[in-house]
Structure formats: C-alpha cells, structure tokens
Amino acid sequence: MSDLLSDRTRLDRYPARGKHDFETIAAILDEGFFCHVGFVQNGQPYVIPTGYGRDGQSLYIHGSASSRMLNRAGQEIPICVTVTLVDGLVLARSAFHSSVNYRSVVILGNAEKVEGPAKLQALKVIVDQIVPGRWDSLRPVTQREVDETTVLKLDIVEASAKIRSGPPVDDEEDYALPIWAGTLDFAPLSAAPKADARLRAGLPVPDHVRQYRRVRK
C-alpha cells in the first residue's frame, strides 16, 4: 500500500531504523491499543493518553464527550498520535550505549468527529482492538452511553515507524570488560536473560538482571 513518508515524518536521527510503508505501521498499530494524542490549545501543548482502534487506513480514538482533548481535536486542528511497544531492555557495558528495543509509530493529521451509525461501528473497532471478539459478547450499548462518548477518526496518510531491535552495540574496547551485557525481552518476558553473543566467558547473570520483573513489588 501507500508510502506514508513526508518531510514532517522523515527521521533525522537513526534514519535506518525508520519505516514508512503502511504494512509495517499497521502491524505495530494492530499489536497495541493505547496511544498518546498531542495537540496545542491556546499556545499550551497537551499530551493525553487514550485507547484506539484501527480499521483499514483509519485510526479511531475515543473518550468522554466532556474531554477537552477530544473536543478540541475534533475541530480538525493538527494532532500527533504516538504508539510505542516496548519489546525489551538492551543492557550494554556502558550507560551511554544501554537502550531499549521498541517499535513506535507517529501519525500526523487532522481528526474529525464520528457521528451517526458510523460511531457505533467505530466503538466496536476500539473494543475489539483491545480484546478481539469482545464486542459481540457484551450487552448492547445504550444511546446514553453513545451520546456520552466522543469518537474521532484520523486518516493514516502521514506517518512513520521507528524500530530498534537486537543486542547492545558497545564501543569495541568495551567488549573485553568483565561486565554482563545482553537483552531482557518483554514479549513475553523470557524465563532467562539472553546473553550477548560476545560476552566474556564465565560471567554470571547478575541478580538485578536475573530477578527483573515488569511489575515491581
């Protein structure tokens, strides 16, 4: 499908990590369900988190009918939607080269409010994005619930994806240091850390890596 590259979505930093084809961007969006929407009101920037759903080349965002963000964004002002999937930690031999493996999408455009029968279908898209097939198992929504919900549609026509994957990339002289390095994968969190292929022989996995959990006690 279409290339979503524009001057505004072109990556200046690490351009090799950038993707602008619709298929890559759609795949990242389909794995997520939560986004952040950025907009400016009276000169003040705001970034608001909310759920979303994708149907074809349209992204649907929902929230309360009293939401300042949705009402402002529904006036077709420029907005920026970001989605980030964190796949793991990249634990290098230095703080400078430590990083995160991730997949992210940035979409630029002007959203419009969804009204009428299309609004109910958009809500179904959002619910099923979070838990596929969930909508049909629920009681029907009431008209009051529909009226109290605002839905925006953003066409995916100007966007970029950025992806970082793989092991740490250290300074060549640091590979000889007696410091454990590798990755902790989150999708799902692996039972054991994955050691860097160039790790010095005999280095044990430190407790702070071996005992790492996403949920802190």
Please count the residues of the chain: 217
Q: What is the pLDDT of residue 1?
A: 43
Give the pLDDT confidence of 32-71 residue by residue, as tens digits: 999 999 988 888 898 989 999 999 999 999 977 667 666 6
Q: CATH for 15-85+101-164, among 2.30.110.10, 3.40.50.300, 3.40.1410.10, 3.20.20.70?
A: 2.30.110.10
Give the pLDDT confidence of 85-130 residue by residue, as tens digits: 999 999 999 999 999 999 999 999 999 999 999 999 999 999 999 9
DSSP reduced 3-state for 16: helix
Task: Describe the chain by its helix, strand, coil percentages, rounded to 5.
Answer: 25, 35, 40
- 122 to each of 85, 113, 129, 208, how far by Cα in Å? 23, 11, 11, 44
Q: Where are the domains of the chain?
A: 15-85+101-164
One-letter amino acid at 210 equals: R
Among residues 84, 67, 70, the alpha carbon closest in space to that of 28 is found at 84
Radius of gyration from C-alpha coordinates of the chain: 21
pTM of the model: 0.85
